Structure 1
Amino acid sequence: MGPLAGVKVVEFAGIGPGPMAAMQLADMGATVLRIERREPADLGVPRPLKYNLLLRNREAIALDLKDAQSIELVLELISGADALIEGFRPGVMERLGLGPDVCRERNPRLVYGRMTGWGQDGPLAHAAGHDINYIALTGTLNAIGRKGQAPVAPLALVGDFGGGAMFLVMGVLAALLHARSTGQGQVVDAAVVDGASSLATAFYGLSAGGQWSGERGTNILDGGAPHYDCYECLDGRYISIGPIEARFHAELLRRIGIDEAAAGSPGDRSCWERMRGEFQRVFKTRTRAQWCELLEGSDVCFAPVLSFDEAPHHPHLQARASFVEVDGVFQPAPAPRFSATPSKVPTAPRMPSGVAALGSWLSAERVEHWRHFLQDERSAA
């Protein structure tokens, strides 16, 4: 199932953007085999395994990548793969004997996807780092937060998952198209600093044109504008509004009973504080549910601010089946949606399964060849 049915991907286990990219490819139908370390590693994996949703939809085997036989098995798998994903620091795969040159000698059409925070080269390439550091360097983190307050880390959505995983997926898919038409694979260097910078392209343009203030929390899309913000309700919960367009803004004022003359014009920044005060006053007069009843589905650009527990049960997301329940765990359904080749129904994350994971990769004879070795590996682990 899925538009990538028949595509085979070898994934080297890691954290953050690598597993997210592998999940996306697997959701779209690719057969992904995860190579786990045999020895325990601090990869930030929650326990129990069923809650590590980034590991869904694929099999895994555990290998000692310092062992020659393990490396030979990996190279045999790579010989039949379309793509490889790894997220080690630059040079690690080369030291293991699994660098791009070695792998593409075995398989010239292989797409070799490399995921790092800083990139494969540059002064910081070998330094440790995490999402917050990468987006800090790109200017993105500096732009997120309230006026007069410290920058706010936006989960890992802008860096690891948006600027990292999604750009790795895009790069791998583009390289796969090229490999299918030419028979030539290539290396995809996906770096969070590059992807996060790319996501901020529009804001770099606004800044260059003098339409974006360097002071966070003072612009129209960063919470600075009163008509693009979140407000507390009578019950302590929050709602969001975003009527940037004049007709939508006028509709909001009409529905919530604010006189436009009292609030001022949204295009006049000198009115913003007065308008914010009016919104704060009015939105605290009703509960979130009451505001939903009045405003949801209208043209005022409104939505309640829901928690992770609440979101799967919202009628709109239920109608679209935006979430699924797998092994008792609610989780986002595969996205995007395909009319002719629907994505896989997610399967729960799985522990490394040894030789059973090789069935769709190797012939029965070769699976048998590796049986005792993998059993020995599992016993040693």
Structure 2
Amino acid sequence: MALAGVRVIELAGLAPAPFCGMILADFGAKVIRVDRTKVSMALDKQGRGKLSVSINLKTAKGVALLRKLCVQSDVVIEPYRKGVMEKLGLGPDDMLKENPRLIYARLTGYGQTGTYASAAGHDINYLAMSGLLSRLGRSGEKPYAPLNLVADFAGGGLTCALGIVMALLERTKSGKGQIIDASMVEGAAYVGSFIWKARSLGMWDRSRGENMLDSGAPFYDTYETSDGKYMAVGAIEPQFYQQLLRGLELDAGALPPQMSFSDWPGLRQIFTERFASKTQAEWSRVFDGTDACVTPVLSFDQVSAHPHNQERASFVVDSGGEESPRPAPVLSRTPAEPCLTPDPVIGEHTVKVLEEYGFTSAEIKQMLGADVIECNASRAKL
């Protein structure tokens, strides 16, 4: 796999950092998640392919142990608020002195500098600060956040993983590591670069929910079918729009021009009534094989059974029967090979990892006895 041989220390966190670690693990990196001790259950539902080590960082020996693991690794993913790692003496400046090749990724909401650097927040706050939230929502309604996808996962975890891969590539030339300051505010804004740059084209000069791609256009929206399901319509280009009208059995000559903004509400009502006349399956049969850009809105229960997704094996099922998306993108020579065993329990691999990092059985036994580490390998086998 593409990242085989790369060792990553991921300090346990929520949402974006675990996603970043899972991406690296999916593509071959050995990702070691460092969990706290005396925690009954991992909240990381993106532990695929990771190993878990449980360390008590409230002890000096635990901090010293984590230092050893970090300086013997290629990458550290750190999701804490600014200053937390420095208080432990494990900040990036200290780590890079011991291992100049280390890549130290700091993934936070607001970044390492600025007025809000130490402030708490969540996806919706970072999305708000990026400017994007102001553009999300239907006309006449308040802004809404699309789950926690944009800031946490796209602007956070995915962007951080990209930074790590770029730093690994650069290290092959310089031999040096570096610090990655991944801000979810900036990552979300960067993901939204098209919206920023397209303003000069007049694509976003109307109020929220009244533009072509934000539910303002009737030919770029979702419509309920007669069985309570939905179809997604994205017929922007004129030739695609004509195929949409043909599938709906509507006469283009009897309708207003596609780009007549003032007629959009009435056109939407016509589309709404027409889509409500058939089931989702019936509309799928009408539009499959056309370029009308009309597709069913698939539920999680439907998605892996769709013929296209089946043909590409776009979803995988682990040994516990849990289904999830296959890693993307697909590489021709070194594709990802997602681990299909259940996610690790906390401390499942503590002994195994420490042995791989050169600790003796006696040293490990001593740390176990002093509550510096925990090992739950036996529980994992139950």
Q: TM-score scaled to structure 1, two decimals?
A: 0.93
1:45-84 aligned within 5 A: 45=43, 52-84=44-76
Shift of 1:98: 0.8
Match of 1:49 in 2: none
1:183 and 2:178 aligned: no
| 1:264–1:274 contact (8 Å) kept in structure 2 | no
The 1-side partners of 2:352 and 2:300 are apart by: 33
| 2:35–2:55 contact (8 Å) kept in structure 1 | yes
Match of 1:33 in 2: 32
User: What amino acid maps onto 2:285 in structure 1?
Assistant: E
Structure 1 residues 152 and 268: alpha-carbon distance in aligned structure 2, compared to 1, 3 A threshold: same
The 1-side partners of 2:369 and 2:52 are apart by: 14
Match of 1:337 in 2: 330
User: What amino acid maps onto 1:218 in structure 2?
Assistant: E
Percent of aligned pairs with the same amino acid: 40
The 1-side partners of 2:101 and 2:223 are apart by: 53
1:289 and 2:281 aligned: yes
1:99-110 aligned within 5 A: 99-110=91-102
User: What amino acid maps onto 1:38 in structure 2?
Assistant: T
Structure 1 residues 312 and 248: alpha-carbon distance in aligned structure 2, compared to 1, 3 A threshold: same
Shift of 1:208: 4.4
1:194-205 aligned within 5 A: 194-205=186-197
| 2:203–2:212 contact (8 Å) kept in structure 1 | no
Match of 1:328 in 2: 321
1:373 and 2:372 aligned: no
The 2-side partners of 1:33 and 1:96 are apart by: 19
The 1-side partners of 2:323 and 2:349 are apart by: 28
User: What amino acid maps onto 2:293 in structure 1?
Assistant: C
1:257 and 2:249 aligned: yes
The 2-side partners of 1:97 and 1:181 are apart by: 29
1:18 and 2:13 aligned: no
The 1-side partners of 2:192 and 2:236 are apart by: 20
| 1:33–1:357 contact (8 Å) kept in structure 2 | no
1:152 and 2:144 aligned: yes
Match of 1:96 in 2: 88
Structure 1 residues 7 and 270: alpha-carbon distance in aligned structure 2, compared to 1, 3 A threshold: same
Match of 2:379 in 1: none
| 2:152–2:184 contact (8 Å) kept in structure 1 | yes
1:358 and 2:350 aligned: no
- SS of 2:244 mapped into structure 1: helix
Structure 1 residues 251 and 304: alpha-carbon distance in aligned structure 2, compared to 1, 3 A threshold: same
- SS of 1:248 mapped into structure 2: helix
Q: TM-score scaled to structure 2, two decimals?
A: 0.92
User: What amino acid maps onto 1:84 in structure 2?
Assistant: V
The 2-side partners of 1:146 and 1:260 are apart by: 26
| 1:80–1:361 contact (8 Å) kept in structure 2 | no
Match of 1:86 in 2: 78
- SS of 1:358 mapped into structure 2: helix
Shift of 1:354: 4.7
Q: Which moved more, 1:335-344 or 1:12-21?
A: 335-344
Structure 1 residues 184 and 271: alpha-carbon distance in aligned structure 2, compared to 1, 3 A threshold: same
The 2-side partners of 1:359 and 1:264 are apart by: 70
The 2-side partners of 1:323 and 1:28 are apart by: 16
Q: Which moved more, 1:22-31 or 1:200-209?
A: 200-209
The 1-side partners of 2:45 and 2:40 are apart by: 18
| 1:53–1:348 contact (8 Å) kept in structure 2 | no
| 1:354–1:375 contact (8 Å) kept in structure 2 | no
| 1:59–1:357 contact (8 Å) kept in structure 2 | no
The 1-side partners of 2:164 and 2:200 are apart by: 32
The 2-side partners of 1:192 and 1:315 are apart by: 36
Shift of 1:6: 0.5
For structure 2, the 5+ residue unaligned runs are: 377-382
Q: Tell me the alpha carbon deviations over residues 77-99 of structure 1, each in whole angstroms, 9 at most, x when there is no partner.
A: 12221110010000001111110
- SS of 1:3 mapped into structure 2: coil
Alignment RMSD: 2.0
| 2:55–2:374 contact (8 Å) kept in structure 1 | no
Shift of 1:252: 1.3
